[in-house]
Amino acid sequence: MPIENTQLQVLANHCTAAAESMGYTIMRTAYSSFVKETEDFSAQIMTPDGQTFASPRTLGVTWYTGLDYGPVIRMFDDYREGDIYLTNDPYSGFVATHTPDMHLWKPVFREGKLVCFLGCHLHNTDMGGAVPASLSRALTEVHQEGIRIPPMLLIRDGAIDENILRILETNVRAPELNRGDLNAQIACLNTGEKKVHEIVDRFGVDVFMEGTQRMLDYAEEQTRSLISSMPDGEYFFSEYADEDSPNGFPCRIAITLRIKGDELELDFTGSDPQVASALNVPTGGNPHHSIVTVGLVYVLHSLAPLHVLNAGSVKPCKAILPKGTVLNAEHPAAVGMRSLTTAVIQACTFGVFSQVVPHLLPACPAGGSSNLNVKTLSADGRPALSSIGPCGGGAGGGPERDGVEGCGANSAFLKNTPVEINEAEVPIEILRYGLVPDTGGVGEQRGGNAATMEFRVLSPNAVVTARNRNRTDLAAWGVLGGKAGANSRFIKNPDTPAAVELRNIDVVPCSPGDVIRVQGPGGGGYGDPLKRSSEKVLHDVRCGFVSIEKARSEYGVEITPDLEIDAQATSLLRSSRAPRTDGHYDFGPGRSRFESVWTRQRYAAFTEIARVVPVSWAHFVKHHLFSRLADNVAPADGGADDVFRVYEELRAQFPRLPEVAAA
């Protein structure tokens, strides 16, 4: 007998609660701050073929609601009750996507029958490698990013393979953290196993297994219905990371969105080729890979927040990921900073859907959240290494409300670490932690302001790492009259003669007394700022979100020194200004300058060249072309011929490069 919808909903609630219990187990038992405070972990309950049908809704990362463990599950055919497997290798099945992410999975049997798998991941603070915390934009191959463990058996018959642990602990900088966090993951899976048996006790094996498949089918049906409500058509958008390598050129993600009926396609053709840095994303070309579809999941949830989210949600959607590009990198490309690129993918997804449903989605969130780590010595001379949390910016303003301050939208799942814990974990002194006024993009609904953190290093031989530094040059865009948010900043010894603007540098040696200040970017604004009510602007000024000067110059609201509205002056200011009518997006000056040179036509020419150039040459060729055309503003026809001309000049130097016919 088919499962009734009421019974299916009750079963789904039980499964979600079980996944929540798994997540709470990790959070309460983990050793490292980045897991127990920032909550970079996930938990999944999966079908026997690895499709996630339940995951936590209130804690942990939100990237893996549709994670498919199938590629690693299928590597083994001798599953037994109590087995636990693990991997962190980005190129073995493409489930783990950078080395700090350790994934574990466990089969659950009932009456000798495999009824489901349980999975979980967490981000280890360090996995060894070339730099503390293992990750830097400057790394060029995965071998530099720490120890890699291919999919293998960790526990059988209750016995853990100590040899794996010995190898792991020998190669990392803080082995007690790795061991403690691994124990938290094992406890998570054991909690999940207990909860699944309780659910099966209530519903029976057959109902449980049929119900889990129905959950996937129901999510797919809901997504198809939502897509059907969108206008058919083809839409294009591109987004960039500031640099494709240290002091490099912007790294482009491009999406052509095609909607037809109840299906859609995300074609990433036009994205940059694989880069000689750690921004590459290892997807294996999987058209439903969670890394490239998470932005889509956020869009679906924004448009229909009551819909079910699981692996079925993305079945009506397909991503095209050309091999050898930054989104389908080939071994041994470095992939440690794939989280930065993933944030760019998400912003690109938001941007292209903003054209489809412009009055339902917000402006661009800040992105560019810096995940800070400090490696130094404790007071007694022992090595000390800890994450001190993310520092980013606010959400984009939306159709109905302002962007959240300091952290929001697609980075909201990363929680801040309390100041007291940071100062207890490593010898630093937090000098400032708060919001930066006037950094949110102005608009009828204002973008969220940036967060800032400033701290003093108190011990020698310290190294500060700032993973995912971005938005130094290219801001979060505003929409429908709203303006772009402010850029991020990263400064060593600010407000002194020795001040150094670090920009997107992500590994910083420090001496005792050095001060580090990081400031996130601001979220983009939504709508014409002159339409924002004077009362809201006054509230912003009183709260310290907007300065009196900005209220006047951008919002046309005159605020007196005693923080009241000067109604007559405000009326004159606003009546003298024309409404904003300069297109759907405001990208800010950095991107506008870049795209005056690298038009869509020139990028199409470069994409054609990159398509036929060997992967090993692609990054070099890109940098040569971009260097030659750096200040060459494109002519009216877009300037594609210039790209082919410069490439032919390069071929004259290196005849091994393939011939490319100009379009």
Asked whether residue 506 falls in the same domain as residue 608, the answer is no
Asked whether residue 645 falls in the same domain as residue 505, the answer is no
Residue 457 included in any domain: yes
Tell which of 184, 209, 234 closes a domain. Answer: 209
Q: Which residue segment(s) compose the domain that 602 sits in? A: 598-653
Specify the DSSP element, H or E, that contains 43.
strand 41-46
CA distance 11 to 313: 18
Residue 359 included in any domain: no
Q: Which residues contact 595 (CB under 8 A, 6 or more apart)?
A: 587
Q: What backbone torsions phi and psi does residue 160 show, to the nearest 5 degrees?
A: -85, 145
Asked whether residue 517 falls in the same domain as residue 648, the answer is no
Query: Please, are residues 411 and 367 in contact by the beta-carbon 8 Å criterion?
Result: yes
Asked whether residue 508 falls in the same domain as residue 630, the answer is no
Counting other chains too, the contacts that 157-163 makes at CB distance below 8 Å and 24 or more residues apart are: 157/80, 157/82, 158/82
Tell which of 154, 176, 209 closes a domain. Answer: 209
Asked whether residue 510 falls in the same domain as residue 631, the answer is no
Asked whether residue 201 falls in the same domain as residue 67, the answer is yes
Give the relative orientation of helices 175-203 and 205-228 as an angle to the nearest 10 degrees. 100
> What's the number of CA atoms in the CB half-sphere (13 Å) around residue 452?
20
Residue 412 included in any domain: yes
The ranges of the chain with pLDDT < 50 are none
Q: Round to the nearest angstrom and report the end-to-end CA distance of the chain.
A: 60
CA distance 81 to 648: 62
CA distance 587 to 446: 15
Residue 312 included in any domain: no
Residue 510 included in any domain: yes
CA distance 601 to 619: 20
Query: Please, are residues 520 and 393 in contact by the beta-carbon 8 Å criterion?
Result: yes
Tell which of 155, 177, 209 closes a domain. Answer: 209
Query: Please, are residues 520 and 366 in contact by the beta-carbon 8 Å criterion?
Result: yes
The domain total for the chain is 3
DSSP-based three-state secondary structure for 133: coil
Q: Which residues contact 653 (CB under 8 A, 6 or more apart)?
A: none
Asked whether residue 51 falls in the same domain as residue 200, the answer is yes
DSSP-based three-state secondary structure for 486: coil
Domain with 159 in it: what CATH number?
3.30.450
pLDDT in tens, 518-571: 999 999 999 999 999 999 999 999 999 999 999 999 999 999 999 999 999 999
Tell me what pLDDT residue 587 has.
97
Give 273's strand partners.
325
Give 434's strand partners.
452
Tokens of 249: 């050129």
Asked whether residue 191 falls in the same domain as residue 48, the answer is yes
**Among 199, 207, 202, which Cα is nearest to 8's?**
207
Asked whether residue 515 falls in the same domain as residue 609, the answer is no
Residue 106 included in any domain: yes
Asked whether residue 39 falls in the same domain as residue 162, the answer is yes
Asked whether residue 407 falls in the same domain as residue 500, the answer is yes
Residue 303 included in any domain: no
Asked whether residue 485 falls in the same domain as residue 629, the answer is no
Tell me what pLDDT residue 526 has.
97
Tokens of 225: 């219905």
* DSSP track, 161-195: -HHHHHHHHHHSS-HHHHHHHHHHHHHHHHHHHHH
Residue 448 included in any domain: yes
CA distance 138 to 279: 9
Tell me what pLDDT residue 20 has.
97
